[in-house]
Amino acid sequence: MRYRCFSKAARVASVILIVALVLVSSARAGEDPDLRKNLLSGWKMWRDMLADLNALTFTVGAGYFGDASSTRELNKLDINAAVAKSGYPNDLKFEFASSIQLKNSGVKTDYLENVTTLLLSYEHLLTPFFKAYGFVERFTDTYLSIQQRYETGVGVKAEFEIGVTETGRKKIKDAIEFGKTAAEGRAQNMEGGEDLTSALAVDEDHVRDTVIALKKRYAFLAMGLACTTLVEIERSSIDLPNGSSQLIDPRRRFRVALRPSLILRPSEGLSIKWQTYFKLPAFGPTHAIAFDGTLRYDMRTDTFVTIKYDLPKSPAWARRVSLLIDYKYYFDNIPPFVPRVISAASQHNSLAFKIQAEF
């Protein structure tokens, strides 16, 4: 009796197992035979694309200029370094740049930091066309007699992109196609390992955010206008005609800065970037007496132009290697001065040629 019961239960279990196998086989038979393969290969492409967009990068660059004669020698070194963490919709960056001069007059050797910048900035994309940001900066410039200047501020920026480069167009197309493939896999209730599960989780929101990030990274033309509220604290040191120097009392100013910007990528690997800061007085006096006794508008402008060319083939030890032309122009409408003695310079131009590597 027990044997008959066991035999009957075994037959029922066998029937259930056969039905399950038939159902699974039918479901698998309804799958596109290439869909699973496309999903797995597409997932690798998608993962590499996100890794590039969200990478932690370290950049270092340097340029050197030197002159020497039998009695005198002048060396100048321009260096810059940056650490950046990108990840839609946030960007965090720390930058350092310095221009160092080493001068040997035959009697003594002088070391001087002409211009030094330390900058920490954070940006958050609010919409595809607007972002909010904050920053802290320390700046020195011996040409303008700025011993130390600290700025901290927050602002918003409107930015628009027109067109994309060939590389960007290909990446955007791949992202959109992979999103469609993932949607087809979900429609067929596909199941699989960890990679397939991750691939199927890529939905319309993921694709949309990635396409936005790609358009900004590879835009043919990007235009922007930023508005910043900042506080500026500055201490100046002016070289006097007798060879000594005099410190100027620290000054605090509140300013509103308007910053138009433009980035043009006319061909693969070539980019031209321009931006100008118009730093205007706010929440206080707008005019002040200059060294010549005239009443002037208390305005500053900083202009930066960078032309960068990425070498077609990067070495194994770097993500990319670039050649740069860096131009900077600083203007102060009311430079610091010692009454009836001397005024600091109001303008400073800088041009540097550099090689830069990104890791």
pLDDT in tens, 236-269: 999 898 888 899 989 899 999 999 999 999 999 9
pLDDT given at position 33: 67
Share above pLDDT 70 across residues of the chain, in percent, rounded to a whole number: 91
- The answer to whether 38 touches 181, Cβ cutoff 8 Å, is yes
- Cα angle for residues 94, 269, 307 (degrees, 5° grid): 60
pLDDT of 169 > 50? The answer is yes
Out of 14-18, 153-157, 353-357, least confident range: 14-18
pLDDT at 335: 93
Tokens linked to 2: 């027990």
Mean per-residue pLDDT, 20-38? 59
Q: What is the pLDDT of residues 76-96, one digit of tens each?
A: 899 999 999 988 899 999 999
Q: Which residues contact 79 (CB under 8 A, 6 or more apart)?
A: 60, 61, 62, 63, 97, 98, 100
The CATH label, of 2.40.160.40, 1.10.3720.10, 3.30.1330.200, 2.40.240.10, for the domain at 35-358 is: 2.40.160.40
- Number of CB atoms found within 10 A of residue 103's CB: 15
pLDDT bin (cut points 50, 70, 90) of residue 30 is low
> Residue 5: is its pLDDT beyond 80?
no
What's the pLDDT band for 53 if we cut at 50, 70, 90? very high
pTM of the predicted structure, to 2 decimals:
0.85
pLDDT at 6 over 80: no
Cis peptide, bond prior to residue 89, ω within 30 of zero:
yes
246 contacts 269 by C-beta, under 8 angstroms: no
Q: List the domain boundaries for the chain.
A: 1-30, 35-358
* Model confidence pLDDT, tens digit, residues 265-296: 999 999 999 999 999 999 889 999 999 999 99
Which pLDDT score, from 0 to 100, does residue 108 have?
74
Highest-pLDDT range among 74-78, 133-137, 317-321: 133-137
Between CA 328 and CA 351 the distance in angstroms is 7
